[in-house]
Amino acid sequence: MTPFAREQWYVIAYAHEVGRELMARTVLGEPIVLYRTEDGKAVALADRCVHRRYPLSESALVGDTVVCGYHGFTYDTKGTCVAVPGQSRIPRTARVAAYPLVEIDGFVWIWIGDPARADETAVPRAEHLTAPGWVTVKGMEPIACDYGLLVDNLMDLSHETYLHGGYIGTPEVAETPITTEVDAEAGVVRVSRHMADAECPPFYSRSTGIDGRIRRHQDIEYFAPCLYLLHSRISPVGQDAPLFRTEITYAITPGKPGEVYDFWAVSRDFAVEDAEVTEFLAKFNHTVVMQDVTALNLLQRALDAEPAGYQELSINIDAGGLAARRMLAGLAAR
C-alpha cells in the first residue's frame, strides 16, 4: 500500500457538492461531515459524535449547527458542543475536530494534519477550472484501489494506446519516449511526451474538427500528493495554429486504505459555445475514466491475491510513476 501523507491539502469535494445537506466523505481514513452555513461558508467536522460516536452526517443541520441524530449533542461550526440533553453543564471535552478548508477553483480543499500548520497559500491551483474563456466537464468516481495505482496510471500515459485505444489512445502515444523532471523542493513531477506527427483520436477529432494527423503535446505536472494536471496541446501536423488547448485535471484523494476518490475534469478553450462538443466530451471522457476505474479495480484484486514477495518490473515509461512514488514516500515519512 502506498503510505498516506498527512500535513497536506486534499480535494474533498467539488464546491457545488457542498450545500445545506450533511454530506459524508472519508479522507486518509478520517470520516468527515461537510455542509455549508446559512451564509454559504463550507464547514468540515469529524463525522463522529463525541458521545457515542454516532455519525454526524446522519444527523440534522439546524441553522449552522449539527444536532446529533442519536441523543442531540449539538455542535457549532468549530466543532464545539453548545448543547447536551438533560443538563446545562457542557463537558469541557465535548468537541469534535474542525478541519481547515479552502475553496478555490471550484474545489473544496481540506487540510489533513495539525490545523496550526495549514498554509492556505500552499494549495496548488487549477485556475482553468473556473477562468473565463474556458469550459469544463467534470465528475468524480470512487475506485476500490490503493491511491498509488491511480497515480501510476496517470503518470504513465502509454496506457492510452492499449486501455483507451479508439478513444484517446493511438499507437504514437506508446511509441514516443518521455522526458521526466523532478522538482523536489516544489514537490512537482513533470512528464512530457511530444508527438510531432500522430493520428488524431476521436476525443480530439470530434471536439476540434481536425480530420488529418496532428502534432500532439502532453505535458504533465503532478503536484504531490493530490493535484495532477495534463496540459494537452493539439494542432494540425506541422502547424502552430490553430492550437487547441485542453487542460485535463485530476484530484487524487485517498479515502480509506484501498479506496481513492478520482475527481476528473476536462477544460477547453475552443468551441466554448458549442453545447454538442461539451456534451460529447462529458460523455466520452466519462467512458475513458470508467475504463481506468475498471482496470484499477481489477489490478487491485490481482495484487490482493498475489503471494508476498512478488517483484514488479519497470521500464523507461515508468520513470514518472517511480518519481511520484518516491515523492509520496518522502511526504509520508516527514
Question: Which residues would be at the binding site for Fe ion (CB under 5 A)?
Answer: 292
Which residues, numbered 71-100, are part of the site for ligand FES (CB under 6 A)? Answer: 71-73
- H or E stretch at 8: strand 8-14
Which amino acid appears at position 116 of this protein? Answer: A
* Shortest Cβ 68–ligand FES spacing (Å): 3
User: Cα(109)–Cα(129) distance, rounded to whole angstroms?
Assistant: 14
Q: Which is nearer to Fe ion, 9 or 250 (CB)?
A: 250
- What one-character-per-residue DSSP string does 73-85 give? -EE-TTSBEEE-T
User: Cα(315)–Cα(334) distance, rounded to whole angstroms?
Assistant: 28
DSSP code of residue 7: S
Q: Which is nearer to ligand FES, 91 or 238 (CB)?
A: 91
Q: Which is nearer to Fe ion, 161 or 235 (CB)?
A: 161
Among Fe ion, ligand FES, none, partner that 252 touches (CB below 5 to 8 angstroms by kind): none
State the cell numbers at 125.
491551483
Q: Which is nearer to Fe ion, 247 or 292 (CB)?
A: 292
The residue assigned the cell 480543499 is 109
Binding to ligand FES by CB under 6 A, coded x per residue (else -) over 36-55, reads -------------x-xx-x-
State the cell numbers at 240.
502552430
State the number of CA atoms in the 13 A half-sphere of 141 facing the CB. Answer: 20
Q: Which is nearer to ligand FES, 70 or 134 (CB)?
A: 70
* Shortest Cβ 19–ligand FES spacing (Å): 23
Among ligand FES, Fe ion, none, partner that 49 touches (CB below 5 to 8 angstroms by kind): ligand FES
Among Fe ion, ligand FES, none, partner that 70 touches (CB below 5 to 8 angstroms by kind): ligand FES
Paired with 143 in beta bridges are 260
Among ligand FES, Fe ion, none, partner that 106 touches (CB below 5 to 8 angstroms by kind): none
Asked if omega into 142 is within 30° of 0 (cis), the reply is no
Q: Which residues would be at the binding site for ligand FES (CB under 6 A)? A: 49, 51-52, 54, 68, 70-73
